[in-house]
């Protein structure tokens, strides 16, 4: 299936071949720190109806680097759009103004709905609980860029696996490849949702659930850390206990493999100590930086000639 | 009178010849879905001191499509500008930063005042009760594009004719041409202001006022629908009654001419049912889309070489 | 020291030779009202964590005029960034997105801290009480442009010298040159801070403190007016008295030299009467306008090839 004009709604809509092509171009952009006029006089609408500054600015930078023009509607402006207008009419309006629509919305299915209405391709910048396909692409690209492939790796995912959109999307994305094992490390109350576990079972990806990081850490090739939000816990004491045990610092990492990649979709609060920032384990800033190149490649494949 | 460097304050400042030239260029842009570098390295200030997302984003898209750069000040930012600074000083500041100033302000006469201060041309993006000249140009262009001319047409304008800026501007714009009749359809309490009616009398344009759409609908070539805002009504029951009777759907339109154009300056709330969206009567999305081409043509004539 | 890749944190980091080079380029840009593609496909992050619309839009215009792309984070957006993320992580993020970072922050030392973290050059858009180096450059450039040099001039600085960031930065900037005398005109309670006066003593620049403008006005070549904010005064009556005596109008200026330059960093409220706007004394709008050319020159020297 060709990338040209394609909507990007769910990471599972893409095959390994699709991603190979995407990552190949992203690698080239990253190697060259590429800038060009590929999207000259093309507009990209960035509809961020839920705030997500990192995703928004990363896309904005990607659009600019290819010579395109961002038309940005942030949450703040969006509130003044309403006046009772439907989401569909808003999408139609921005469809008139731009050549691609990147949409972030709290409601599950919003991006799909927009794609059904718009003539321009629609990219899901995050909707509902599962889908944040471009973040998953960035995560998979980062592993591929530094390890050659996701195949055969032992990948730990740590933190809030129940509500964390990035984590769920990443885990689903892993199933497009053949990782050795996925380790799901979370407190019982923030376990990965049953529907995602069922999917892992169905496609036959090996996974292992645990509350404890210590035992499995030495096995891991990748440790994907996510934020645990206080408001998810009915009991503040429980939160303090969990948060402490999932905080990654150099002392904990002394048991890790030499080439462990510590990743994080950012922003972090304190789940990764700053003493990791200048260590060999740090891949989270690289991951954010790679995000720009990945999104450039995505825009180029979808919109380019 | 030449378009070059001209201020755009009031639709009545423009002759039929001015508009012919403008619409000819806008037609070309629309036919070609034109993009170019006509305004390369030229800046357009978009001062939206009152929120109006559609007008703002439509202008932004127009600026971008011609290779220009938008410098956008929205209401949200504007509030932090104040610090007691006068409107005049704000205009002088943006005059330094840009090559054209598009200004939206609640106060009647704000655009004229800005034009008197600024060296750059000023475009009125809507001020006070009457003037929204670029919306009127879009409306007249849309009719011209699909019907060849406004001359000889029977045009109905429906809704809040008293406070609706777009409606008043459109009605004044119609007088530049020779429509057969203008039908002013509104509840008594939202009748077109006396000063506008007086103007229609003075220039000898035939118009007809009525509260009831039903009888005249079969006559109409164009039905221009506008929003009725609840807060205009002292009595909520009166609002409910009026609103219901002015809601356009396919069942009501069964009495209309086959080639009736249903227009709306948008956003709509529920005054046009979504069942009209995919019908032959729908011209309101086309109208919004044409808005980008019309504004491109306007910028090109005013700022181009 | 070369300009290429240099951070701009404090006006005192720059030598007279540095500024000569900068002003020479800024003069050329001003003479030609220059536009170009010098920064094509280069991004400039504008992080305005404290609102400062003039500085922000002036930089935005400068970036655009050189063909660059602004990535703007205003206070409004910034509030949604937080989620507990550190300032350092925010800087790292924007370092990934852009080629230069312009940062405005209330906290003293914020720009220096950002410069230590970022790989890209950082420009201080104002931090804490003293430093607003690009404003000082604009002020010095404006004097140089119209008087040839700052050397030998009698320069009055009027208003809130204690809290006024622009005033303090300007006064420090003057010490890079050899002005005849600096007249510090302020109420006792808003006197220039001791540390700045100590600096003037140390570098041997002659200055004279007074509460009264009248006597010294006829001596001045430049009068730099700043705003006095009501909230600085414990006693409202004291504020009214001071404010009145420091209000500049044509009648007061009748005692001034014919070629006195009246300057102001803007925004003004009423400390300069509008009757001065069209007089020969008015240099404050020119100063704002020059700001765009100065900032273009700065970006070109730091980022250009």
Both tokens of C119, joined, read 């790989």
- Residues B230, B154 share a domain: yes
**Residue A212 within a domain:** yes
B300 in Cβ contact with B37 (< 8 Å):
no
Do A139 and A257 lie in a common domain?
yes
In a domain, A6, yes or no: no
Is B281 part of any domain?
yes
The whole-number pLDDT of residue A295 equals 98
Q: Least CA distance to B42: which residue of chain C?
A: C65
Would you call C60 and B71 a contact, using CB atoms and an 8 Å cutoff?
yes
Of C88, C96, C98, the CB nearest to A288: C96
Q: What's the pTM value of the predicted model, to 2 decimals? A: 0.95
pLDDT confidence of residue A83: 64
Q: Is the domain of A115 the same as that of A153?
A: no
- Give, as one character, the DSSP assignment of residue B189: G
Neighbour count for residue B197 (Cβ, 10 Å): 16
Which residues on A lie below 8 Å from B74 (Cβ)? 77
CB-CB under 8 Å, C292 with B81: no
Residue A143 lies in a domain: yes
- Searching chain A, which residue's CA lies closest to the CA of residue C88? A274
Sole residue written with tokens 């402490």:
A244
Chains near C with 3+ CB pairs less than 8 A apart are A, B
- B127 and B94, same domain (yes or no): yes
**Distance between CA B33 and CA B100 in Å, rounded?**
23
Look up the domain containing A259 and give its range: 133-288
Residue C70, C-beta contacts closer than 8 angstroms, at least 6 positions apart: C43, C44, C46, C59, C60, C63, C64
Interface contact A43-B53, CB threshold 8 A = no
Q: Which residues pair with A101 in a beta bridge?
A: A45, A122
Tokens of B292: 């980008």
Closest-CA distance, C238 to chain B, in angstroms, reads: 20
The answer to whether residue A82 scores a pLDDT higher than 60 is no
> Taking CB atoms and an 8 Å cutoff, what residues of chain A touch C73?
53, 57
Chain B residues touching residue A71 (CB < 8 angstroms): 57, 60-61, 64
Which residues, including other chains, have CB under 8 Å from residue A207's CB and lie 6 or more apart?
A: A181, A182, A183, A184, A197, A200
In chain C, % of residues over pLDDT 70:
97
- Which residues of A fall within a CB distance of 8 Å from C69? 64
Tell me the pLDDT tens digit for each residue of B35-75: 999 999 999 999 998 888 899 999 999 999 999 999 999 87
* Stretch B65-92: mean pLDDT: 83
Across the interface, of B51, B60, B65, the residue whose CB is closest to A41 is B65
CB-CB under 8 Å, C292 with B85: no
Question: How many separate domains does chain A show?
Answer: 2
Q: Which of C43, C81, C97, C303 is most worth mutating to test chain A (most A CB atoms within 10 A of its CB)?
A: C97
Q: Which chain B residues touch A83 with a CB distance below 8 Å?
A: 267, 269
In chain A, residues with a C-beta closer than 8 Å to the C-beta of C84 are: 267, 269-270
Residue C127 sits in the same domain as residue C247: no
Q: Is residue B4 part of a domain?
A: no
User: Domain check: are A159 and A35 in the same one?
Assistant: no
CB proximity list for B121: less than 8 A, separation 6 or greater:
B5, B6, B7, B8, B100, B101, B115, B302, B303
pLDDT tens, position by position, B193-220: 999 999 999 999 999 999 999 999 999 9
SS3 C210: strand
Whether the CA torsion C142, C143, C148, C150 is positive or negative: it is: negative
Chain B residues within 8 Å of chain C (Cβ atoms)? 40-43, 69, 71, 73, 76-77, 80-81, 83-86, 88-89, 92-94, 96-98
Q: What is the DSSP string of B211-273?
A: S-STTTGGG-SEEEE----GGG-S-HHHHHHHHHHT-B-HHHHTTS-TTPEEE--S--SSSB-
Buried b (16+ CB within 10 A) or exposed e, A191-213: bbeeebbebbeeeebebeeeeeb
Q: How confident is the model at residue A168 (pLDDT cuts 50, 70, 90)?
A: very high
The distance of C198 to chain B (nearest Cα, Å) reads 32
Contacts of residue B37 in chain A, CB cutoff 8 Å? Answer: 41
> How confident is the model over C2-12, as pLDDT tens digits?
999 999 999 99
The SS3 assignment for C164 reads: coil
Kindly report the three-state secondary structure assignment for every residue of chain A. CCCCCCCECCHHHCCHHHHHHHHHHHHHHHHHCCCCCCCCCCEEEEEECCCCHHHHHHHHHHHHHCCCEEEEECHHHHHHHCCCCCHHHHHHHHHHHCCEEEEEECCCCHHHHHHHHCCCCEEEEEECCCECHHHHHHHHHHHHHHHCCCCCCEEEEECCCCCCHHHHHHHHHHCCCCCCEEEEECCHHHCCCHHHHHHHHHHCCCEEEECCCCCCHHHCCEEEECCCCHHHCCCHHHHHHHHHHCCECHHHHCCCCCCCEEECCCCCCCCECHHHCCCCCECHHHHHHHHHHHHHHHHHHHHCC
Q: What angle (nearest 5°) sits at the alpha carbon of residue A143, between those of residues A139 and A147? A: 175
pLDDT, position C231: 75
Nearest-Cα distance to chain B for A80, in Å, is 7
Say which residue the tokens 């500008």 belong to: B81
> What percent of chain C clears pLDDT 90, i.e. is strictly above it?
80
Inter-CA distances, C224 with B39, C143, C261, Å: 37, 11, 8
Higher-scoring residue by pLDDT: B128, B166: B166
The pLDDT assigned to C305 comes to: 76
pLDDT for residue B8 is more than 90? yes
The pLDDT assigned to B270 comes to 86
Q: A278-295, pLDDT tens digit by residue? A: 999 999 999 999 999 999
Share of chain A above pLDDT 90, in %: 80
**Per-residue pLDDT band at B229 (split at 50, 70, 90):** confident
In degrees rounded to 5, what are phi and psi of residue A207?
Answer: -140, 165
Do residues B69 and B26 share a domain?
yes
Are B276 and B297 in a shared domain? no
The Cα of B151 is separated from the nearest Cα of chain A by a number of Å equal to 28
Q: Considering only alpha carbons, which residue of chain C is nearest residue A50?
A: C80
Contacts of C24 (CB under 8 A, 6+ apart): none
Is the Cβ pair B269, A92 closer than 8 Å? no
Inter-chain contacts counted by CB atoms under 8 A, chains B and C? 62
Measure C195 CA to nearest chain B CA, in Å: 29
Q: Which residues of B touch A (CB under 8 A)?
A: 35-37, 51, 53-54, 57-58, 60-61, 64-65, 67, 74-76, 266-270, 274, 285, 288-289, 291-292
- The answer, yes or no, to whether residue C129 has pLDDT greater than 80, is no
Under DSSP, the state recorded for B39 is T
Residue C81 has pLDDT above 70, yes or no: no
State the chains in contact with A (3 or more Cβ–Cβ pairs under 8 Å).
B, C
- The CATH number assigned to the domain holding C279 equals 3.40.50.1370
Whether B184 and B208 have beta carbons less than 8 Å apart is answered as yes
Is the domain of A149 the same as that of A252?
Answer: yes
Confidence of residue B269 (pLDDT cuts 50, 70, 90): confident
The answer to the question of residue C33 being in a domain is yes
- Same domain? C171 vs C218: yes
pLDDT for position B75: 74
pLDDT tier for residue C292 given thresholds of 50, 70 and 90: very high
Which of A67, A75, A289 is the closest to C96 by Cβ? A289
Whether residues A33 and A124 fall in one domain? yes
Q: Are C299 and C100 in contact (CB under 8 A)?
A: yes
Q: How confident is the model at residue C83 (pLDDT cuts 50, 70, 90)?
A: low
Distance (Å, whole) CA B205 – CA B174: 9
Which pLDDT score is estimated for A226? 94
Q: What integer pLDDT is reported at residue B236 of this predicted model?
A: 83
User: Closest residue of B to C291, CA-based?
Assistant: B96
A268·C85 Cβ contact <8 A: yes
Q: Give the model's pLDDT for residue C269.
A: 86
Residues of C in contact with A68 (CB under 8 A): none
| Domain assignment of residue A177, yes or no | yes
CA distance B126 to chain C (A): 23
Residue A211: per-residue pLDDT: 93
**In the prediction, which pLDDT does B114 show?**
97
pLDDT given for residue B53 in this prediction: 87
Within-domain flag for B251: yes
Question: Cα distance from A35 to chain C (closest Cα, Å)?
Answer: 6
Cross-chain Cβ contact B285/A69 below 8 Å: no
Q: Report whether pLDDT(B82) > 60.
A: no
Q: How far apart are CA B287 and CA C102, in angstroms?
A: 40
Element (H, E) at B297: helix B284-303
Same domain assignment for residues A142 and A48: no
Q: How far is C181 from chain B (nearest CA, A)?
A: 31
CA dihedral for C242, C248, C253, C254, sign (positive or negative) = negative
Partner residue opposite A61 with nearest CB, options C43, C77, C88: C43
Nearest to B69 among C64, C285, C288 (CB): C64
CB contact under 8 A, B41 and C67: yes
Asked if A96 and B61 come within 8 Å (Cβ–Cβ), the reply is yes
Contact (CB, 8 A) for A185 and A213:
yes
Q: Which residues of B touch C35 (CB under 8 A)?
A: 40-42
Phi/psi of residue B290, each to 5°?
Answer: -60, -25
Q: Which strands make up the sheet holding C222-225, listed edge to edge?
A: C207-210, C181-185, C154-158, C222-225, C261-263
pLDDT of residue C80: 58
């Amino acid at each position: 299936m060709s990338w040209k004009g394609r909507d990007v709604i769910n990471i599972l809509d893409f095959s390994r071949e699709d991603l190979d092509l995407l990552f190949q171009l992203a690698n080239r952009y990253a190697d060259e720190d590429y800038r060009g006029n590929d999207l000259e006089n093309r507009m990209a609408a960035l509809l961020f109806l839920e705030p997500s500054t990192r995703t928004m600015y990363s896309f904005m930078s990607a659009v600019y680097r290819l010579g395109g023009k961002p038309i940005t509607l942030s949450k703040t402006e969006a509130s003044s759009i309403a006046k009772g207008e439907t989401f569909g009419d808003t999408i139609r309006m921005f469809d008139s103004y731009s050549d691609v629509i990147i949409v972030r919305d709290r409601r599950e299915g919003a991006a799909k709905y927009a794609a059904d209405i718009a003539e321009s391709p629609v990219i899901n910048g995050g909707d509902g609980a599962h889908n944040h396909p471009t973040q998953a692409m960035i995560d998979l690209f980062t592993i591929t860029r530094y390890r050659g492939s996701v195949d055969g790796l032992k990948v730990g995912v740590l933190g809030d696996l129940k509500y964390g959109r990035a984590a769920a999307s990443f885990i689903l994305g892993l199933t497009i490849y053949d990782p050795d094992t996925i380790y799901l490390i979370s407190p019982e109350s923030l376990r990965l949702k049953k529907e995602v576990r069922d999917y892992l079972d169905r496609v036959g990806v090996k996974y292992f659930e645990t509350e404890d990081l210590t035992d499995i850490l030495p096995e891991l090739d990748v440790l994907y850390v996510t934020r645990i939000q206080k408001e998810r816990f009915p009991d503040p004491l429980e939160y303090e206990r969990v948060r402490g045990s999932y905080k990654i610092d150099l002392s904990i990492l002394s048991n890790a493999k030499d080439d462990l990649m510590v990743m994080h979709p950012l922003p972090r609060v304190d789940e990764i100590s700053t003493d990791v920032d200048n260590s060999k384990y740090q891949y989270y800033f690289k991951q954010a930086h790679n995000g720009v190149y990945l999104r450039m490649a995505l825009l180029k494949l979808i919109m380019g000639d």
